[in-house]
Amino acid sequence: DTGVSQNPRHKITKRGQNVTFRCDPISEHNRLYWYRQTLGQGPEFLTYFQNEAQLEKSRLLSDRFSAERPKGSFSTLEIQRTEQGDSAMYLCASSVSGVTYEQYFGPGTRLTVT
Amino acid sequence: AQSVTQLGSHVSVSEGALVLLRCNYSSSVPPYLFWYVQYPNQGLQLLLKYTTGATLVKGINGFEAEFKKSETSFHLTKPSAHMSDAAEYFCAVSDRGNQGGKLIFGQGTELSVKP
């Protein structure tokens, strides 16, 4: 069991550019979550998938954000036309629905928008 | 909407002293309850959880927490602090009705341990 992995670990981009992050969950975990964490705050929920289906999206997820999990395995989170306010740590987590309830987190992708 | 309140954004204790980090939730139906720890520039690691059964739960690294329904609390304790316990601690809840689902986090408590 290799744990949740996220790539890249760090991303620096200029305002207005598009960025994409990848998350690989623990194998056999059918749920995958995305959170955003800003400095000094707890993580805030963005969206989650059960298998391929996106079951819930937060109001925080503006139309510049899109997430996919096309084959029910890895997921990507894309931010279009990045803004300085998008600078944050983006965390991915996975779980098995109805079995363990806890979520296992990856190391995160730190985004800096200049 | 559910919310989680962690009293005290910063807690400082001496090495060997009791650690007490407070967490209260607002929900008419007791949720699933979790404590996570985060070291600098890392993801979150699960310390312990309460889903059902015994209300005193033990976790990793000597931590434990007690679910008190009447007080809507889930405080985290450790009898004797170690320098390696210095980190950010987050209390989180999820909805029982959705077999878990999204986590709602508190704002976090930074624990400092003085030698």
Give buried/exposed letters for B72-103 (b at 16+ CB in 10 A, else e): bbbbbebeebeeebbbbbbbbbbbbeebbbbb
> Which stretches of chain A score pLDDT less than 50?
none
* Interatomic CA distance for residues A54 and A92, integer angstroms: 14
Quick check: A98 contacting B, CB < 8 Å? yes
Contact B44 A33 (CB under 8 A): no
List the single residue in A with minimal CA-CA distance to B99: A98
| pLDDT for position B98 | 67
| pLDDT for position A71 | 87
| pLDDT for position A24 | 97
Quick check: B21 contacting A, CB < 8 Å? no
User: CA nearest B21: which of B92, B83, B69?
Assistant: B92
| pLDDT for position A40 | 87
* Interatomic CA distance for residues B105 and B56, integer angstroms: 21
| pLDDT for position B96 | 79
Quick check: B86 contacting A, CB < 8 Å? no
List the single residue in B with minimal CA-CA distance to A88: B41
> Which stretches of chain B score pLDDT less than 70?
98-100
| pLDDT for position B52 | 87
User: CA nearest A33: which of A77, A64, A99, A63?
Assistant: A77
| pLDDT for position A1 | 57
Average pLDDT score over chain A:
93
Interface of A with B in 40-69 (CB under 8 A): 40-45, 48, 56
